[in-house]
Amino acid sequence: MKRPFGLLNTIRWWMSCLSVALVQISTASQFSFADYSSPDFFPILTWDPLHGWTGKSLECETNGLESIAACGFNCAGFVLPSDLPRCRKLGLAAILLPSGAGVIPLNYQQEWRKLSDAKVERRVKAMIRSGGSSPALKGYFIMDEPAARDFPALGKAVAAVKKYAPGKLAYINLFPNYATLGAPDTSQLGTSNYTEYLERFVSEVHPQIISYDNYQVQYSNDLKDRGLAASYFRNLLEVRRIGLKHHLPCLQIVASNQLRPGHTIPSPQNLLFQAYTTLAAGFRGVTWYTYYARGYFYSAIGPDGNKTVTWPYLREVNRQVASLAPFLSRLVSTGVFFSGPVPADDMPTLPGKVVQELTCATPMMLGEFSGGHGETYAMLVNLSLEHSANFQMKAADELKQVSPADGTLAVFKAGNDGFWLPAGQGILLKCGHAADAINEPGRGKNH
């Protein structure tokens, strides 16, 4: 009687081990979209501290992490150690804020350049210890909008994260190109031009990604101010160029609230526009500022803690991004082009390698990509926020549309009156007859 009982226990033990292993594999795969070194890296991120910048204010009881997950985000920025178990349960990756007695995150990030090398290292090690080993934890918040004079200290902080938490992200977000230029003590950037700011960031900090924020779509009153709109695209293309040059993934933070009284409020059109222009430039995810009101209006969660009409708008855009992410995360940006009227005279125009001609009365943006199996892709974006785009195009080969509804492929054919795209909408097209390797089982699904 003992032998069968022992055999049965042995089988149960091995099954238990296998079950644990499968859970671990599943968990690792689940959060791979937030691993900056993973091919699946494609965060859809809230740029908004869950508990506020004081470190003391409480999360909204009715619309906290659960509503962030329901809104289509896959990454929560920024949380405290006590939030990590719930992040894991909800499938949300997380970037950790500094915490502890007397720590006020808003002040904390401004102090790096005042610290000795030893204090920088101690500070990073304390943040790493506070987060523990949760699989949901993917990075640590270091600083927002540093000046060039902060770069030497930030380089030490990034090095410490790489040393003591290999594989985790040391998260730093940069200024946009409309920040002030000049001497370190008289300007925001502390450099003579924006390219110098980006290059020094790369050479002095040795970052894992390049992230920056740009809110010119709202500031330009839905692109009616052509100068501000042009600066949005110049910023996008310059960060893209530096990212490709140094083999760094890029993220852009765009606006999902009314930034100032009198400025544009979120709409389905301008949210789609911001997301799809970011993706068409080859960026590896979308970040939204902000999810909670925090003194702003028309954010997804209003000042009263309840959902606003922005919430379902944002959820739909996030859902489309998630449907395209399994494709876009495996592609490399090879070109960006614009059809007339171009946003600015110095913007690149067609022909490209995938699309030779595009005729449209409304302005269009075209991003071209290559995959690892010889396939090529193109993303088209309607740059008008008022009019649907009716266009004709000539491509190098047959085109298939990647559905933003579920990531499936279908032949892309024009109707009797050509192709159409709603205001602000984008579309991802696969060119040619190369094998749909990226659409194998498990790859054509949302993360």
Q: Where are the domains of the chain?
A: 30-330, 333-439
The pLDDT assigned to 24 comes to 39
Single-letter amino acid, residue 391 = F
Closest CA to 432 of 408, 407, 396, 403: 396
Structure tokens at 36: 């900056």
- Rounded CA gap, 323 and 43, in Å? 13
Query: What integer best gives the mean pLDDT of the chain?
Result: 89
In the numeric block, the tokens 């409480």 are attached to 58
Task: Give the pLDDT confidence of 250-279 residue by residue, as tens digits.
Answer: 999 999 999 999 999 999 999 999 999 999
Residue 21 scores a pLDDT above 50: no
pLDDT grade for 15, boundaries at 50, 70 and 90 = very low
Task: Give the pLDDT confidence of 37-68 residue by residue, as tens digits.
Answer: 999 999 999 998 988 887 665 566 568 999 99
- Which class would CATH give 333-439? mainly beta
The pLDDT assigned to 104 comes to 79
Residue 20 scores a pLDDT above 70: no
- 409-428: average pLDDT: 91
Q: What is the pTM of this model?
A: 0.90
Residue 245 scores a pLDDT above 50: yes
Q: What superfamily does domain 30-330 belong to in CATH?
A: Glycosidases (3.20.20.80)
Task: Give the pLDDT confidence of 350-408 residue by residue, as tens digits.
Answer: 999 999 899 999 999 999 999 988 899 999 999 999 999 999 988 878 889 999 999 99
333-439 and 30-330 share a CATH fold: no
The pLDDT assigned to 60 comes to 62
